[in-house]
Each structure stands twice: as C-alpha cells, then as structure tokens.
Structure 1
Amino acid sequence: MGFFKPLLAKLFAKYVRKSILRWSSKPIETQYKVFKTLIDEASNTQFGRDHDFKSIKTYHDFIERVPIRDYEELKPYVDRVVTGEEDVLWKGKPLYFAKTSGTTSGAKYIPLTKESMPTHVEAARNAILMYIAETGNSQFVDGKMIFLQGSPTLEEKNGVQLGRLSGIVAHYVPKYLQKNRMPSWETNCIDDWETKVEAIVEETLPEDMSVISGIPSWVQMYFEKINIKTGKKVGEVFKNFNLFIFGGVNYEPYRAKFENLIGRQVDSIELYPASEGFFAFQDQQNEKGMLLQLNSGMFYEFVEANHFFDDNPKRLTISEVKIGVNYVMIISTNAGLWAYNIGDTIEFTCTKPYRIIVSGRIKHFISAFGEHVIGKEVEQALQDATQGLEVRVSEFTVAPQINPYSGLPFHEWFIEFENPPKDILELAKKIDASMQKQNSYYYDLIFGNVLQPLKISTVKNKGFQDYMKSIGKLGGQNKIPRLSNDRKIADSLSAQKLLK
C-alpha cells in the first residue's frame, strides 16, 4: 500500500495537469463560458429579475445592469437568504454560510452552494497534484498531514449550516486522506486557539509529519511550541516534513524565521482561498505568482486600484489586464455574488497563463499625505532591507504618525523581531530607501520635506499575539493588517504596553 498511493497520486496528477492546461491555454473562451453559464443559471432568481438577466447578452449589458457592490451593499439580498428565502441570489438555498468577521455591520454570511462548494475542495487538491506533476515528489502522501484551521463544528441557521470556511472544508477531506490527516476531530473542535495549538503539538510529536499547512503566523506559533517542548528544530523532529502549504498572507516576511525554526529549506505551495471563492494557487515552483482559477464558476473583473474610488471606474475583463498594475478584483460567482468587491488588490505577474500575486487590501493602505502605500510595497521593503542579514522578523505593521512630539510626520513601523538587527537605525534607513525606490509619491514627500524618513518601534516578544488575543482574533484565519491609514493598532500596542 505504501508504494500504491504515491503511484496513484502521480497518475492522477498527470490527468489533472492536462485538464488545467486545457482551460488555462484558452483563458478568454473559458471566462466567456463561465459568464454565460452564471447569467443563464441565475436569470430566474430575485437578483436576476431585479437586474434583468434575461436581456443580458454581452459583458457591456452586464456592466450597465449590475453595479459593483461590497458586502454592505449586497446585504439586503444576503439577509433574505439568511432568513431562509429561496432563489434570491442563486437558485434554491445555499448548502452553507461561511461566517466571517470584520465589516461595519458585524458578521458576514457568505453563501456556499452545491455548485460552488466543490470548487473550493478541487482547487486545494489540484494545488498539491500540480506540485506532484511538476516535481515527481509524491512520497509525502504516505505521511501524516496537518491543516491548522478553524473548528469544524457547525451551527444551523434557518435550515442552512453555518461555520468558518476552513471548518466547513474539513467535512470534505477525501476518504483516502482521512487516515493521514491531523489533528484529530476532537482537537480540531477546540475553540481556544492557544489550547488547540498545545493539543496539536501533543498529538503530532510522535507522528511522521510530511505536510504542514496553514496561515504562516499561526503555523509559526505551532513551530515555536515544538521548538520549546523538544529543544529541536522542526525539521529534526519531523524528518520527512518536506512540504509547507500556506495562504492568507505573503510568506516572504516569514521565510527567514521559518527556515530557522525548521532548520532547513522545504518546498512550499501558496494558495489564495477565501470564503467568497478559491481564487488561485501556485502551479509552478519556480514561477512568481499563482494560477488564477478561470474555470471554477467565477467570472472576474478588474478595476485599477488608483481609480477605484472614481465616480465611474473602468471595469476590465481578463483580456484587458496588464502585468504589474495594481487592480481591485471583482467577482461574480455560482454562489450568488454579483460584481462583488472582495476587498483584495492583486497584480498580474504573467498572462500566459494568467498568474497573480495578492498586493494588499483596498482598505489597507497608507495615504495620510497622498503617498498611496500598499501592502506589497512594505513587505518588499522589509525583504530588501533584511537581505543577507541575520535579522528575523516575527510580525509587523505600519501606521502614519501625523502628530509627532517633534519634527515632521513619518511612517511608524511596528516590528516584532525574533533576531533583531545590530543597528536598528541602519535597518530603518534601508527600509526607507526601498520605500522611496518603489513608491514615487513617498519619495517626493521625503524629498520635499513633507515627511521625515520612517522610524521603527520595537514590539515585545509575542506582542502581536497578545494584541490579537485582546481583540478576540487569535488564531484561525485572522491576521495582522500590514498597514493602516489610522493609529488604532498602533495606539492599542502602546496602551497595552506591548512596545519595548
């Protein structure tokens, strides 16, 4: 059996790779088919009738009838679905609601339908199969695999099951992986994140772990507890651990710290899952960016981020995008989201096939002085500045300091170091130089003496974890915003005495 599973995985990987190459080599045709199917399938829903879907023949018709909306604007329809009404946004009732937090109205209820649910599962599976097809490495399928995720315990709301996306997906683990999967169902159901991670450490230490998956900041917590408990590197404890699967944030700021915790390099696969859809995954180890899922029941539109808040911003299809431009991604899906702004910004790294990176959040930026700084820029600046240094960063966030005690305003970087620099002022200079190089607005503000160069404030060990715990967002899919245009996080860190 030990030989049989890896062999089957290789054969299945070849089959899936051919299927993906078929649609990814015909991107415009693929998206047109998805668009047409979505409009046809939803034409008799309440949303379809309200927006005259039956008369939509072209993309131009769609733009005229369906404006871009965020969750707040779509909420009147979602509320009707939540009360149990059928045929509102999509035919019938959803299978689930993925519950997420963070909007002005409290919890968000994102519908998952019988048409959309399989695409979440297939994309995660296909990411692993594409890795096997490329590298030939399939031995890990015989080892134990851990997925750090939310509780799979579900509630019910008017006949529809409700839970966190990662908890819902836990119900769809294929039978052939269930024996390999960790942690146990009981441990996965623990709500308190710190208690859960302790239990996961106890369960996994005796096992032959080959794949570890989760949001980097929370996997880091798991790795640190293993280091403390055993006094060994993770790679020594789990000798066959050779694949790290992650999503939710850019891995690069964590890479040096992870390699130190593991004690060696391991292959990694980046995913781009969200409650609204599984949008992309890394399909090649040596290519930058993730393959956009054009054949998964989602029709994509893109708006240049710099023009997103204009009165009537231009909406683009996949055929009109350019490499290196920062776009807000808009989706219409077979879960009943229509011209929906998920809040993420992306950039294309390639158009043959279409690959993307997540560059930030349209609401997470700094532009207190018109500088338009985005997440990708601060992550790149930190990476540039620490290149070749024995500096390891655990976590960081950036905020504007508009009213300093003295001197000009500046950007304040709150950094928690695992291994701090010998000269923190020199590191700040290097970060600032990279920011000026990347962002011409920022350069002009420094050069024109509107801003002074950035300053670093050091956060105590585990300070960001303590902050997340204080706001009830420790663990799961929650993560620290890379930047804010206000000082809510900055002031909390200071008020809680989490700064050194």
Structure 2
Amino acid sequence: MGVKALLSKPLAAYVHKKHLRWMENPVEAQQAVFRKIIDKAQNTLFGRDHKFSGIKTHADFVKAVPVRDYEGLNQYFNKVKEGERDVLWPGTPLYLAKTSGTTSGTKYIPISKDSISNHIDGARDALLAYVYETGKSAFLDGKMIFLSGSPELDEVAGVKTGRLSGIANHHVPGYLRTNQLPSYQTNIIEDWESKLDEIIEETIDQDMTLISGIPPWVQMYFDKLIRQTGKKVKDIFPNFSLFVYGGVNFDPYRKKLFESIGKEVDSIELFPASEGFFAYQNEQNDPSLLLLLDTGIFYEFIPVSEYFNDNPTRLTIGEVEVGVNYALVVSSNAGLWAYSIGDTVKFTSVKPYKLVVSGRIKHYISAFGEHVIGEEVEKAMNATVGLFPEVELTEFTVAPYVSQDHGASYHEWLVEFAKPPLNASAFSEELDKQLCKLNTYYNDLITGNILQKLKLTQLARGSFRNYMKSQGKLGGQNKVPRLSNDRKLADGLLEAK
C-alpha cells in the first residue's frame, strides 16, 4: 500500500468524526449557518436592500427575501460582473462560475473566498467517506481521470471566470496532482472530440484506478477505448475500481457502462452545481445522498406542488418529510439569497438527512395537465429496460406532440439504443404501462382517450452526440434534458438524424 492510500485512512476517520457532530444536530447546524451568513452580509448592497440587520428568524427572512432565480437576481449579478464591491457578499468574488442559462444566456455565479472550500472539500470528503466505509484506499495510489471542462480561465472585471469543473481543477490538492489526468495542455482543448482523442493517448497505457465524469461522456471515452484496443475497459485498466459521477441519474446509463467495463465497479454519486456542492453518496448500499448541512449553505425546501404559487411554503431542514418532492432553494456564503437552483429533491431519510435528485423544476411535460416529471420518465424507462434484457440504452428524451384532432396527441419518446428491443411495439406498450403506473394524471388521459399511447421514435446511433455538437454542448458538464414541455429539442433531434 502506498503512502497516499495509507494516510487517507486516519484522515477519513477524522473527517467522519467531524461530520457526525452536525449529522447528529442538523437543525442547530443549519441555524448556525443561517445566523453566520446573515450577520456577515448585513452591510452588503443586498443586505441593506433587504434589511438584514432586522432579520432574527427564518420567518423574518421569508418576509424580507423572496425566492428568485438567476433572472430575479440579475440586477445584483450585473453589478458584480461590473466589478462593484460588497454587492451580494463582502468584497468581490474569488471566481465567477460560468454556466448556461435557459432564458438569460450565460450565467455568472459568484464563488467567494468563503465558499470555495465548500466545492473542494465536498468532493474530497466524498472520497474519504468511501475510504472510511469500505476500507478501500488503493485507488489513491493510481492514476485518476477527471473528464471535465477546460481549466483555462478568463477575466470579467478583474475576477477569474470559467466553468466550475475548470475552476475546481485549479484546487486539486498538491498530493493528488501527480496522479491526475489528463494534462493541463489536453484539458484546455475546446473541441470535445479532439480532446477525447488526446485523453485516450495520455491514459491508454496508464494504471487508471478512478474515473470521474458525467456518464454519457464517460461512455464516449469507453467506446473509443474499446474501438481502439478491441478490449473491455477492465482489461485495459485492470486496477480501475471506482467510478465517480454527478449531474444526471446514473440508472439509464448503468447497464451499458458496466457492459463496456466488463464488470461492476464501486461508484459514488455527487451533487455539485455552480451554486454549491450540496451532497454526496456516503454508503455503497444506499444510492441516496448525504445533504451537507455545515458548509456555508442554508437550505429551504418548497413543495413542488406550491412552487409556482405567489407565496409558497418555505420549509427548513427540520420540517421536511420523506417522499415529498421539493424545489431546492439556497442561501450561501457565496452571496446567493433564497436562490432557486432549479433542481427538485426527495428525502429518503431524516436521520441523517439523505435525498435523491428527482428532476428539474422547469423540466416537465404538462401540455395536457399531466405534469409528468423527470423522475417518472426515468423510472418508467428503467423498469421497461429491465424487462427487455437485450436492450442497451444510449440516451433518450421525451416531448409532447399536440394535435388539433381530439385524441390524436401523444408523448413522443425519442430514444437512441446501443442495442434496440427485438419487439419495439411490445417495448413501447410496456413503457406506456409503466408511466401510467407512476402518474395517475397521465393514466387518466390515456384511459379517457384524451391522449394516444406514447410514440417510440428510434433515432440513429450518434443522433444525440451530433445534436449536442451542433449546439456547442458536446462533452464537459453538458447534459441532455430528459424531457421538455415543448418540441424544440425533439424537433432539433429529428432534423439532425
């Protein structure tokens, strides 16, 4: 066992003991975060505008600070981008994390000197939690690949700016730098396919032990490796033992990914975003994620059924219930205040507080009043694939088709298979049954002949890759929306196929 693997075990035990203190006192931990960030931001522009000096309780905060998304806080973000000080948080940001917005174009999310540790320590602690639970640490002595965005940073009003994954790349601990791949020169290549070719050249003969990235882009890496060598990944990298991922639900990609590897390996799911590192999987036998409650982020939770109300209920950590879908709202030491990040979560446990990411608040289909969400289409697809063992899924998305003729509308599932079903109509029938089980409104529309049963449209191999490439969103941290309430993505895919 190498030095890194050996030293990681006492460090993992220390971090676990530290986390137990807030895990056993979650409400108090969140109250301490709340008080600290409110007090520190009192004299900022936002703090003065919202009378932070008078905020003593969460009820005061709810009255003073409405829930807003990026567009709602744009006047403050613009001042930050222009170089003004003390706008949302004391001083100026350490970084601006650049991310794609749906209506506002490119978004710039501040990361402060106080909040950067949340991003870096969260990823570190996820690995240490794995070491503590399993006792496995040998992966730390091998090579580790992080498939991410470019670490090359620009400047906006004197503040370094780039993708979150690129910013994080600059904070990889020194003791892991010698293990990290790809090289900086390769990582800054903008064209994803050219970058992937270089990554393969740099890694194909290395002792890769950990691979991290968003599953569909990792699958592309594996596909190229297999084509080049004619071998499964386990035979190329015999010591590869840990897969780390985040950003999308792993289940739709699991079967094909492990088939490419040639065996199952341990995996850790992370819940990172430009707005903060929120949670990670801390137990191998439990896929849900431990919510981090003492890292400078104060959480609020809005029941999804109330999200679009004028005055939705805003719950704190001690008030949530298991099994309810909530929109996640954060206030933090980065200077975000009652900020709706767009994700929905569902708690699986409250001792400790653990959750799953159930979807995006803006990603749904309700063209006919059914309000089908991402969690439901993924569960329906996973259950159906499980009944058709020959099927390997590459990617899919769902969109409504609205007809002017009564009873002629339907949901269109655009699916790219690595291995298609032998009986596509039976697969489609089962998929519709599974969705009917999961969403009673959809079932009522089907049984009432308001909607036809879903239409399965098989796309040619490479359709999603080609479409994402045409949009400049191939690779990195980009994700395909699982479903949409309009046909922009669906029509784009059909035109590109």
TM-score bracket relative to the smaller structure: over 0.9
SS in 1 for 2:369: coil
Corresponding residue of 2:462: 462
Contact 2:407 2:450 survives alignment (8 Å): no
Task: Name the CA distance, whole Å, in 2 between partners of 1:313 and 1:407.
Answer: 35
Task: Name the CA distance, whole Å, in 2 between partners of 1:479 and 1:288.
Answer: 21
Corresponding residue of 2:325: 326
RMSD between superposed Cα atoms in Å = 1.1
SS in 1 for 2:66: coil
Q: Which amino acid aligns with 1:328?
A: A
Give TM-score scaled by structure 1 length: 0.98
* 2:147 matches 1:148: yes
* 2:101 matches 1:98: no
Corresponding residue of 2:473: 473
Corresponding residue of 1:168: 167
SS in 2 for 1:457: strand
Corresponding residue of 2:311: 312
SS in 1 for 2:199: helix
Q: Which amino acid aligns with 2:132?
A: A
Corresponding residue of 2:211: 212
Task: Name the CA distance, whole Å, in 2 between partners of 1:339 and 1:432.
Answer: 38
**CA apart distance, 1:3:** 2.9
Corresponding residue of 1:360: 359
**CA apart distance, 1:406:** 9.3
Q: Any idea what the Cα deviations from partners look like across 1:429-478, whole Å, max 9, x if unmatched?
A: 11111111111111111111111111110011011000001111111111
SS in 2 for 1:88: coil
Task: Name the CA distance, whole Å, in 1 between partners of 2:420 and 2:269.
Answer: 27
**CA apart distance, 1:54:** 0.5
Corresponding residue of 1:336: 335
Corresponding residue of 1:287: 286
Task: Name the CA distance, whole Å, in 2 between partners of 1:378 and 1:36.
Answer: 40
Q: Which amino acid aligns with 2:462?
A: K
Q: Any idea what the Cα deviations from partners look like across 1:401-450, whole Å, max 9, x if unmatched?
A: 11289952111101100011100111111111111111111111111111
**CA apart distance, 1:260:** 0.9
Corresponding residue of 1:62: 61
Q: Any idea what the Cα deviations from partners look like across 1:108-133, whole Å, max 9, x if unmatched?
A: 01000000001100000000000010
Corresponding residue of 1:433: 433
Q: Any idea what the Cα deviations from partners look like across 1:325-344, whole Å, max 9, x if unmatched?
A: 11100000100000001111
Q: Which runs of 5+ in 1 are unaligned?
A: none
1:228-307 aligned at under 5 Å gives the runs: 228-307=227-306
Task: Name the CA distance, whole Å, in 1 between partners of 2:104 and 2:224.
Answer: 36
Task: Name the CA distance, whole Å, in 1 between partners of 2:141 and 2:287.
Answer: 29
Q: Any idea what the Cα deviations from partners look like across 1:262-289, whole Å, max 9, x if unmatched?
A: 0100000000000000011001111131
Between 53-62 and 406-415, the greater mean CA deviation after superposition: 406-415
Q: Aligned residues, how many? A: 496
Flag the 1:405–1:420 CA change in 2: closer, same or farther, 3 A.
farther
Contact 2:406 2:450 survives alignment (8 Å): no
Task: Name the CA distance, whole Å, in 2 between partners of 1:179 and 1:405.
Answer: 63
SS in 1 for 2:99: strand
SS in 2 for 1:47: helix
Task: Name the CA distance, whole Å, in 1 between partners of 2:465 and 2:167.
Answer: 25
Contact 1:303 1:314 survives alignment (8 Å): yes
Task: Name the CA distance, whole Å, in 2 between partners of 1:252 and 1:267.
Answer: 14
1:11-30 aligned at under 5 Å gives the runs: 11-30=10-29
SS in 2 for 1:387: helix
Task: Name the CA distance, whole Å, in 1 between partners of 2:158 and 2:350.
Answer: 43
Corresponding residue of 1:397: 397
Between 470-479 and 99-108, the greater mean CA deviation after superposition: 99-108
Task: Name the CA distance, whole Å, in 1 between partners of 2:18 and 2:379.
Answer: 34
Contact 2:67 2:329 survives alignment (8 Å): yes
Task: Name the CA distance, whole Å, in 1 between partners of 2:406 and 2:207.
Answer: 56
Q: Any idea what the Cα deviations from partners look like across 1:90-110, whole Å, max 9, x if unmatched?
A: 000000000111232211010
* 2:415 matches 1:420: no
**CA apart distance, 1:304:** 0.8
1:32-47 aligned at under 5 Å gives the runs: 32-47=31-46
SS in 1 for 2:364: coil
Task: Name the CA distance, whole Å, in 2 between partners of 1:403 and 1:495.
Answer: 19
* 2:392 matches 1:410: no
Corresponding residue of 2:220: 221
Give TM-score scaled by structure 2 length: 0.98
Q: Which runs of 5+ in 2 are unaligned?
A: none
Contact 1:288 1:349 survives alignment (8 Å): no
**CA apart distance, 1:4:** 2.3
